[in-house]
Amino acid sequence: MARKRETWITSKEAAEILTANSGHTISDAYVRRLGLGDTPKLRSKAIDGRTKLYLKSDVEAYRVTERSKREEAVA
């Protein structure tokens, strides 16, 4: 059985896709953050010590919602 070919993209490309899908600016630093931790939101693979690639299907499926601004407490 043929295996589906996975497409891997850079953090900059992932940020552009997330920005287009969410309606507000997403930085490549935020994409890197989504790929960290015990349960990452985006699957990644390391190319070398500095570079990671992200699975395009994960990026396209993920939606970033903008945080609401907290109202300052009135003293």
Q: Is the dihedral of CA 17, 23, 29, 30 positive or negative?
A: negative
Q: What is the pLDDT of residue 1?
A: 63
User: Which residues on neighbouring strands pair with residue 8, listed in sequence order?
Assistant: 55
pLDDT of residue 41: 95
For residue 68, the model assigns a pLDDT of: 75
Distance of CA 6 to the CA centre of its chain: 16
- The pLDDT, as a whole number, for residue 5 is 85
Q: Count CB atoms within 10 A of the CB of residue 32.
A: 16
pLDDT in tens, 34-74: 999 899 999 999 999 889 999 999 999 999 988 777 765 54
| Amino acid sitting at position 37 | G
Q: Which residue has the tokens 């890197």?
A: 32
pLDDT value at residue 2: 61
User: Residue 51 in contact with residue 5, Cβ under 8 Å?
Assistant: no
Every domain of the chain and the residues it spans: 8-61
